[in-house]
Amino acid sequence: MSAGAGRPAFVATTGGHLVQLYHLSRVVEPDRHEDGVWVTHRTPQSESLLAGRRVHYVPFVHARRYDEVLRATPRVLALLRREGVDVAYSTGAAISLAALPLAPLVGARGVFIESLARADGPSASGRVHERLPWLERWTQYPQNAGPRWKHRFSVLDSFEARPAGELADPQRVLVTLGTARPWGFRRLVERLLQVLPPTAEVVWQTGATDVSGLGVQAVPMMSDADFRAEVERADVVVSHAGVGSFIRCLEVGKAPVLVPRRAARGEHLDDHQLQIAAVAQAKGLAVSREVDDLTWEDLRTAASLEVAWTAAPRG
């Protein structure tokens, strides 16, 4: 970075928020993204994904824990000031509230990019940000644009799916359940054990899900590099409908089977995964199924699709 020049900051919690922001950093800052500073939480995913980048790890800020937001704010603002940040971008979640609202106090412009998961309106953090007129707010859905939200791009603008060939039985299956605590997704494991044939080779990334007593040889969490490699090796991926896992599948040419978690079952904070799954299926980029409706035929259908990179979305 040249003397006197500013740099961008990219602030996001780990998981799908971080994957989205990593993907979009090249769009919003095509000339400066490699010089940007990252503020996130330390996990195998973030350490792998951001290897070689300028990263500051901060304690985890849980969703809707405003006491944690208040504790994190002085540290995050000090980082932005020390790094000479002139614009801070965030896709959420709660950590965005520690960075963007007061970013002008340290000489930075704040930009909030609402998650792909929010097709029907702002998230909890988005509703806070939309009350602050000095912040820029971008939505990834044109129908959500208006006086408070601008639409410029979507992560999904980069991809299209097409048939790859005739239906065939997948031999290698990757199952990924998401790592956000404390929510597990044991129902999906139990259903897959009914659906998968005994000949299928299965890799299980179980995250926060308790699979004790199910006879599953699980890997709780992979690095981003290991996860990407497993997606590439798999004939088909079955995933909770999380944005991060979904985008990682698209990037290596796979259309996954997405199974949304349900808040009523204690599987997540709300039902935003229904929105992700519905949008993904409508665009032909995934097969979406509820747990109880999932069949082997769904896996065969997803395995028959390939995803192509069309072009990076334009900011």
Q: Where are the domains of the chain?
A: 7-153, 160-309
Over residues 214-252, the pLDDT tens digits come to: 999 999 988 889 999 999 999 999 999 999 899 999 999
What pLDDT does residue 178 have?
A: 80
Looking at the predicted structure, is the pLDDT value of residue 153 above 60?
yes
Better-scored residue on pLDDT, 36 or 165: 36
- List of residues 6+ apart from 11 with CB closer than 8 A: 21, 38, 39, 40, 76, 88, 89, 90, 95, 96, 98, 99, 100
What pLDDT does residue 3 have?
A: 43
Verify cis geometry, omega within 30 degrees of 0, for the bond prior to 93.
yes
Over residues 115-152, the pLDDT tens digits come to: 998 888 999 999 999 999 999 999 999 999 999 999 99
Over residues 87-111, the pLDDT tens digits come to: 999 999 999 999 999 999 999 999 9
Q: pLDDT class for 263, splitting at 50, 70, 90?
A: confident
Q: Which CATH superfamily is domain 7-153 in?
A: Glycogen Phosphorylase B; (3.40.50.2000)
Looking at the predicted structure, is the pLDDT value of residue 167 above 90?
no
Angle between helices 243-251 and 272-282 (to 10 degrees): 20
Please give, one letter per residue, the 3-state secondary structure of 120-145. Answer: CCCCHHHHHHCCCCCCEEEECCHHHC
What pLDDT does residue 104 have?
A: 98
d(CA 80, CA 9) in angstroms, rounded, equals: 7
Over residues 156-166, the pLDDT tens digits come to: 988 999 988 77
Same topology, domains 7-153 and 160-309? Answer is: yes
Over residues 179-213, the pLDDT tens digits come to: 777 888 999 999 999 999 999 999 999 988 999 99
d(CA 220, CA 203) in angstroms, rounded, equals: 11
Handedness of CA 106, 68, 41, 245 (dihedral sign): negative
High-pLDDT (> 70) share of the chain, %: 97
d(CA 285, CA 62) in angstroms, rounded, equals: 30
Angle between helices 243-251 and 16-28 (to 10 degrees): 50
What pLDDT does residue 315 have?
A: 61
d(CA 273, CA 182) in angstroms, rounded, equals: 16
Average pLDDT, the chain: 92
By C-alpha distance, which of 103, 55, 95 is closest to 77? 103
What kind of fold does domain 160-309 have according to CATH?
A: Rossmann fold (3.40.50)
Q: pLDDT class for 5, splitting at 50, 70, 90?
A: confident
Looking at the predicted structure, is the pLDDT value of residue 302 above 90?
yes
What pLDDT does residue 9 have?
A: 98
What pLDDT does residue 1 have?
A: 47
Neighbour-count burial for 295-309, b at 16+ CB within 10 Å, e otherwise? eeebbbebbbbebee
